[in-house]
Amino acid sequence: MAIRVRFAPSPTGELHVGGARTALYNWLWARQDGGVFILRIEDTDLARSERRFTEGIVDALRWLELDWDELYFQSDRLPLYRRYVEALLEKGLAYPCFCTPDELAARRRDRLARGQIPEYDGHCRRLTEAERARYLAAGRRPAIRFRVPEEAKATAFSDFLRGEVRFRRLTTGDFVIQKSDGTPTYNLACVVDDHEMGITHVLRAEDHLSNTPKQIWLYEAFGWESPRFGHLSMILGPDRKKLSKRHGATSVEALRAQGFLPEAVVNHLALLGWSPGTGQEVFTRDELVGAFSLRQVQLSPQVYDLQKLRWLNRQHLLRLPPEELLARARPFLGGVAAGVARDRLLAALDAVRPAIATLTELAAHPDLAVLLRPPDLPPEVRAELAAAAAPRILEAVLARLPRSLGRDDLRPLVQAVADEVGVPRTHVFHALRLALTGRPEGMELALVCAVLGADEVRARLELALEGEGRHG
């Protein structure tokens, strides 16, 4: 039977690296297996969920090209969860809890003071009908708690990645499955949906490990077969602390804005907990679908490394055909590219790309601006171009400029000019660079000339000579 797996983000923030990896692994597994990949937005927490976060997560997944086969919003399914909570109430497997947050907090403090586990103390477990009626009459809206069976508290389950996971004693009293506003909690909605959606395998990160026994008790209470559970390792920052904002861009949105390619992000995410065992590091999406295997998943914590991502991004950038590079770079170019001929743009991006790791760096690279339009020569550059042999050098270059200027044509030209003017070659290179780019350093000059072409080189040299006042 084909697997049915899901990614179930809560829209309470951006899609972060950890969530994106969970999504990717589920997606890869489904795509490999002819299975079904479900996207389920867990937006029942009305106070913390925001529409803009849902949109951001959906956009980020689209950008990563992790396409889903089915999409659900839990907020569309509230009556369903209510029905199932009712069913548990009827069976006596759940009960209303009228405790207020203040009362709960006070009793929690008491338990702590007495050295007890600060779990729910079961206060409302045995309320009589009359007591319930009194609370209701006093206007209290109850939450609904699941009655955790005593024998369930020492629990083990078999994790399909980790093998047997055993909990000696879970510090969980009867937990809330429906809040006093009538919305379900995560564990309840998750179980109902994983069941209703026919999920065969729940693959998620280690931080949910302690939810799994609660969910298994719920399956038992409903009389349902539970899916199989597998928990991935956590992702840490390079300092081996829990990944957070301190570690730089950790949301997919931020990585996108910084000019990372989706294929590089996917590549890096895949390697955060999976290793092909062949030493290969650069993978296309298709290669990943072919090579990925849960059997090679690593359970040790994984280090998210922006330097590694930058390296991968470079590799993927270098592989793009020039047209594709332009398409990807376009949104980052802004004004720099305005009015520039397409051929020049293609050649310039191609020439600058070995020097950069991200599309933002490409767009902001000083060499790019210089290749796209004539520079404004700063006063000190003008002064230098007017002094000593510089004007003669530029004149001599102009006089000898061939009709077409390939990358190999510059060296002989410079040599000839140096001989003619009687200066070292470096002086010729320097004057030319200043006149063409307005800066004393930058990419290989022969490449600058090849991208600009003979006509543009001529125009810029004439401009530099004019500015220097000779024809004024």
Task: List residues near ligand GLU by CB under 6 A.
Answer: 8-10, 42, 190, 204, 208
Taking the least distance from each CB to Zn ion, the nearer of 97 and 265 is: 97
99 binds, among ligand GLU, Zn ion, none (CB under 5 to 8 A by kind): Zn ion
10 binds, among Zn ion, ligand GLU, none (CB under 5 to 8 A by kind): ligand GLU
267 binds, among Zn ion, ligand GLU, none (CB under 5 to 8 A by kind): none
Give me the half-sphere count of Cα atoms (radius 13 Å) on the Cβ side of residue 424: 3
Contacts of residue 96, Cβ cutoff 8 Å, sequence gap at least 6: 89, 124, 127, 132, 142, 143, 144, 145
Q: How many residues does the chain have?
A: 472
- Cα torsion 457, 458, 464, 468 to 10°: value is 160
Does position 461 interact with Zn ion (CB under 5 A)? The reply is: no
Site for Zn ion in 113-132 (CB under 5 A): 123-124
Taking the least distance from each CB to ligand GLU, the nearer of 191 and 363 is: 191
Q: Cα separations (Å) of 400 from 247, 346, 430, 455, 459?
A: 54, 27, 17, 13, 14
**218: closest CA among 69, 76, 335, 84?**
84
**Catalytic annotation, pick one of 214, 241, 245, 308:** 245
In angstroms, give the least distance from the CB of 283 to Zn ion.
52
**66: closest CA among 266, 288, 315?**
266
In angstroms, give the least distance from the CB of 306 to Zn ion.
47
Task: Identify the residue among 61, 66, 99, 372 touching Zn ion (CB under 5 A).
Answer: 99
In angstroms, give the least distance from the CB of 194 to ligand GLU.
8
8 binds, among ligand GLU, Zn ion, none (CB under 5 to 8 A by kind): ligand GLU
Contact assessment for residue 427 and residue 393, using Cβ atoms and an 8 Å cutoff: yes
Number of chain residues interacting with Zn ion (CB under 5 A): 4
Does position 97 interact with Zn ion (CB under 5 A)? The reply is: yes
Taking the least distance from each CB to ligand GLU, the nearer of 39 and 461 is: 39
Give me the half-sphere count of Cα atoms (radius 13 Å) on the Cβ side of residue 401: 22
Contact assessment for residue 467 and residue 382, using Cβ atoms and an 8 Å cutoff: yes
Taking the least distance from each CB to Zn ion, the nearer of 123 and 458 is: 123
In angstroms, give the least distance from the CB of 80 to ligand GLU.
17
Instruction: Tell me how far apart the alpha carbons of residues 293 and 274 are, in angstroms, rounded to a whole number.
Output: 8
In angstroms, give the least distance from the CB of 9 to Zn ion.
31
Taking the least distance from each CB to ligand GLU, the nearer of 203 and 371 is: 203
Does position 177 interact with Zn ion (CB under 5 A)? The reply is: no
Range in contact with Zn ion (rule: CB under 5 A) among 80-88, 92-100, 287-295, 407-415: 92-100
The reply to whether 245 belongs to the active site is: yes
Q: Give bridge partners of residue 202 from the DSSP assignment.
A: 229
In angstroms, give the least distance from the CB of 188 to Zn ion.
17
Is residue 120 exposed (0-12), middle (13-18) or buried (19+ Cβ within 10 Å)?
A: buried
Taking the least distance from each CB to Zn ion, the nearer of 58 and 127 is: 127
382: tokens are 């003008």
Question: What is the edge-to-edge ordering of all strands in the sheet holding 155-159?
Answer: 163-167, 155-159, 228-232, 201-205
**18: closest CA among 189, 237, 186, 209?**
237
328 binds, among Zn ion, ligand GLU, none (CB under 5 to 8 A by kind): none
Query: What are the residues binding Zn ion (CB under 5 A)?
Result: 97, 99, 123-124
Residue positions annotated with a catalytic role: 245
